C-alpha cells in the first residue's frame, strides 16, 4: 500500500465533535485512536475495566505508529480520551459509534440503550461488517438517527470508510456522519443497506474460500497469500487479512451473511471454526494463520 501524504491541519483547530465509542475491542480501540489523533475528543465505553486499560495502551501504540507513518495531521492537538464503564455519561456527545461484538442482539441492545440517553438527532453509528442497518435501527427510539459505517482495520491506515444508509436513516444523520468523517480526514463511500453491504459481501466469502483451499491441502496459507498478492494484486493476501480482521469476527460476519442470504459460500469452513475453537484468532491473540507471538 502506498503511504498517503501527511495531512495538514491548522494548529489547534477547534472541532465541534465529541464522540462516544462503545466497545474497547480491536475496532473500538482503532476508531478511538483515529479520532484522538485528529483532535476529536473521545469517550470510550466498555463494561470491562481491564479491557479499557488494554485499550489505552493500544491507542497509544496506534497513535505512535500513525505518527511515524505520517498518517496524522500536523499541528493538531490530540483530542482528549476519557473512559467509562457505563453509558450513563454519553448524554452530551455529538455522535455515538457502536463498535461492539458482531452479534445482532448485542448491537441492538446497545443502540436501544444509548438512543434513550442522547439528545434527539444525535447520530447513532453502528460499525458493523455485515448486519443490516435497518434491522438495528428498529431497536432505537428514533430509527432516523441510525446509520452504519464499516471502518477497516487499522482505521488510521485505511483512508476510505464504507457508509451504509438504512431505509429509515435521515438526511440530517447522513450529513452529520459525513461531517464527522471529514473531520477524521476520511473519504466516505455511501452504499445502500444489505447484508454485508459491499466490502464484506465480496471479501469475506473470498477469505472463506481461501481458508477452504488450505483446509483441503491444496496449498499452504503462505502459498495462497503469495499467489493472491503476486498474481492478483491483493495487497496483503486474504489469510493475512483474516488475521487482521480477527478470525472470530470473520466467523461471526460469515454466519450473519449465511443467515441473511442463504449463500452456502458464506457458511464458515471447518478450518476457520477450528481456529476459533483453539483461540487462534489472528494478530490479537498472537496466532491465526500466522504466528505473531514475537510481535506481541
Determine which one of 17, 38, 150, 258 is catalytic. Answer: 150
Hey, what's the torsion of the CAs at 283, 284, 287, 290, to 10 degrees? Answer: -10
Angle between helices 221-230 and 238-245 (to 10 degrees): 110
Q: Which residues pair with 95 in a beta bridge?
A: 19
Cell of 59: 491507542
In eight-state DSSP terms, residue 78 is P
Q: Is 249 exposed, middle or buried (0-12, 13-18, 19+ CB in 10 A)?
A: buried
Residue 150 among the catalytic residues: yes
Hey, what's the torsion of the CAs at 182, 179, 195, 145, to 10 degrees? Answer: 160
- What does the alpha-carbon distance between residue 225 and residue 235 come to, in Å, rounded to a whole number? 9
- Whether residue 78 contacts residue 39, with contact meaning beta carbons closer than 8 Å, is answered with yes
Looking at the annotation, which residues are catalytic? 150
Amino acid at each position: 500500500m502506498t503511504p498517503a501524504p501527511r495531512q495538514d491541519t491548522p494548529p489547534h483547530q477547534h472541532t465541534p465533535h465529541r464522540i462516544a465509542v462503545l466497545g474497547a475491542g480491536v475496532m473500538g480501540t482503532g476508531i478511538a485512536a483515529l479520532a484522538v489523533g485528529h483532535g476529536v475528543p473521545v469517550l470510550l465505553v466498555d463494561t470491562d475495566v481491564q479491557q479499557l486499560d488494554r485499550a489505552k495502551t493500544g491507542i497509544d501504540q496506534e497513535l505512535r505508529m500513525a505518527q511515524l507513518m505520517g498518517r496524522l495531521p500536523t499541528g493538531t492537538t490530540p483530542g482528549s480520551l476519557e473512559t467509562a464503564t457505563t453509558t450513563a455519561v454519553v448524554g452530551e456527545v455529538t455522535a455515538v459509534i457502536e463498535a461492539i461484538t458482531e452479534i445482532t442482539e448485542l448491537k441492538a441492545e446497545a443502540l436501544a440503550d444509548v438512543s434513550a440517553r442522547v439528545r434527539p438527532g444525535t447520530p447513532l453509528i453502528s460499525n458493523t461488517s455485515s448486519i443490516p442497518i435497518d434491522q438495528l435501527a428498529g431497536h432505537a427510539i428514533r430509527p432516523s438517527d441510525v446509520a452504519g459505517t464499516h471502518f477497516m482495520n487499522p482505521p488510521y491506515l485505511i483512508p476510505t470508510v464504507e457508509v451504509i444508509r438504512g431505509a429509515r436513516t435521515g438526511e440530517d444523520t447522513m450529513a452529520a456522519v459525513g461531517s464527522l468523517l471529514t473531520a477524521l480526514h476520511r473519504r466516505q463511500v455511501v452504499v445502500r443497506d444489505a447484508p454485508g453491504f459491499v466490502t464484506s459481501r465480496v471479501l469475506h466469502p473470498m477469505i472463506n474460500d481461501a481458508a477452504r483451499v488450505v483446509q483441503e491441502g491444496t496449498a499452504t496459507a503462505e502459498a495462497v497469500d503469495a499467489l493472491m498478492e503476486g498474481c492478483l494484486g491483493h495487497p496483503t493476501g486474504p489469510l493475512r487479512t483474516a488475521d487482521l480482521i480477527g478470525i472470530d469476527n470473520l466467523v461471526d460476519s460469515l454466519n450473519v451473511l449465511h443467515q441473511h442470504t442463504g449463500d452456502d459460500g458464506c457458511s464458515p469452513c471447518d478450518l476457520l471454526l477450528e481456529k476459533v475453537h483453539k483461540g487462534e484468532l489472528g494478530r490479537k491473540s498472537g496466532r491465526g494463520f500466522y504466528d505473531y507471538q514475537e510481535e506481541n
